[in-house]
Amino acid sequence: MLYSTALTAQNQALEEYKSGISERLQNLIARIAGAARSAGRPADEVRLLAVSKTWPAEAVRSAAAAGQQAFGENYVQEGVAKVEALAGLGLEWHFIGPLQSNKTRLVANHFAWVHSIDRLRIAQRLSEQRDVHLPPLQVCLQVNVSGEDSKSGVAPDELPALALAVAALPRLRLRGLMAIPEPTSDTALQRRRFAQLRQLRDALAAQGLVLDTLSMGMSDDLEAAIAEGSTMVRVGTAIFGARTYPAQGTAGPAAS
């Protein structure tokens, strides 16, 4: 008796949560369009990647039903389980978390994009392991624009060599750069970090390597990122709510 009452309450909470996703998604899309307008850019230049890490497949299903197509995951095991559970929905899956060599095969064959490449060895493995029947894996290089504070990402001065080497790998298609600057409420600093990433992209273009993607901006700093040229914002909290366990993906080795 008690058990079924608890279950009913749980189901009700789940239903409320799911309808909230659709509303928050619509608000977010309006927020992105507003930021693009303020920056004098067409709204369709900025794609939304919904970051579903820590949230169940049902939450992704609700966002998909509300029209969202691209989803980002940080942890290999958790991400692969959702990719498989929702395989029929035609979603586009992006891997955005830290990636260790022993997990590259799963990522190479379950995701359409990887944003978090910061060393050649990982890129080589992804290229070797990508199924020949799949289209090339779309990749971004993660750059450490904040200096020593952040452990992940290639150093800006090592970026050109890495970019040229990755661009030459047969089963990858190098699309752009990604950054996760240090969290700050200082909007001038946010903009400076995102501008750094844009300038690195422009410097590569001047060397003949033209990249169309700047993966930058999250729930708390997407306006600054869009003002500095972001073409893909990665947003979790503003769609799915506050995560109940911390984002392991941004601090050291991930759990899976």
Ligand X SMILES: *Cc1c(COP(=O)(O)O)cnc(C)c1O
Which residues of this chain interact with ligand X, rule CB under 6 A?
51, 53, 74, 96, 180, 218-220, 234-238, 247, 249-250
In sequence order, what E strands does the chain have? 47-51, 70-73, 92-95, 113-117, 137-142, 172-178, 213-215, 232-235
Work out how close the CB of 244 gets to ligand X at its nearest, in angstroms, rounded to a whole number. Answer: 12
Work out how close the CB of 74 gets to ligand X at its nearest, in angstroms, rounded to a whole number. Answer: 5
Work out how close the CB of 142 gets to ligand X at its nearest, in angstroms, rounded to a whole number. Answer: 8
Cβ closest to ligand X, residue 139 vs residue 235: 235
Cβ closest to ligand X, residue 74 vs residue 190: 74
The residue with its CB nearest to ligand X is: 236
| Residue environment code for 165-193, b if the CB has 16+ CB neighbours within 10 A, otherwise e | ebbebebbebbbbbbbbeeeeeeeebbeb
Task: Tell me how far apart the terminal alpha carbons of the chain are, to the nearest angstrom.
Answer: 37
Work out how close the CB of 78 gets to ligand X at its nearest, in angstroms, rounded to a whole number. Answer: 12
Work out how close the CB of 245 gets to ligand X at its nearest, in angstroms, rounded to a whole number. Answer: 11
Cβ closest to ligand X, residue 72 vs residue 171: 72
Task: State how far the Cα of 44 lies from the Cα of 231, in Å rounded to an integer.
Answer: 9
Cβ closest to ligand X, residue 158 vs residue 220: 220
> Which three-class secondary structure state does DSSP give residue 248?
helix
Tokens of 1: 């008796």
Cβ closest to ligand X, residue 171 vs residue 190: 190
